[in-house]
Structure 1
Amino acid sequence: MILLRHELGEVLREIRQDQGRTLRDVAASSSVSLGYLSELERGTKEASSELLAAVCGGLGLSLSEVLELVRDRVERVETFGTPVSLPVGPALGAETVSASAA
């Protein structure tokens, strides 16, 4: 099952690290506590829209840009999680299985 807070946290962490910034720096620029930002990145807290907008602003991105990156991650996870149908031969009957086991 996909948890949106985990995907969001991964996106926020990747953006921050790509910018070469620390949690402390982003927390200060977004006026969000360091501990709360850390919990958001780990996917243990759900962000309100106001808080998420503040973090996005602190990262220098719009909310829509971050949500688009989250959407892309979710889509990728959904694609990987979709079972693939494989061609299978006819099922072996019980007598064939027991005969081959003997």
Structure 2
Amino acid sequence: MEKAYRIKKNSDFQMIYKRGKSVANRQFVIYTKTNKDLEHFRLGISVSKKLGNAVVRNKIKRAIRENFKVHKNDIIPIEIIVIARQPAKDMNTIQIQSSLEHVLKIAKVFNKRI
């Protein structure tokens, strides 16, 4: 992911948590907040240390980023935070992507094409 697509600052995370809307399934929680200044979406990923060691957490983060790369042109300009829950650690990449697509459809972040 390019730098322009990332949310890194704690203050940005906190603002989205407070003012954004949340949607969840068993594996992920998604916070979304509209931002009229954006031309594309911005993504923040949070995977707790409770889910496992660094190898497990990075595997989950890579799968999440890959899903957003695949759907890069299909997502509306919005700020998104993805929080992984406990069941995500036992899933493979394809299962993570299908679960993430499911919760993103509920959050209505896709263009009308999907």
Query: TM-score, normalised to structure 1's length?
Result: 0.29
| Higher relative helix content | 1
| Higher relative strand content | 2
Query: TM-score, normalised to structure 2's length?
Result: 0.26
Specify the structure having the higher radius of gyration (Cα): 1
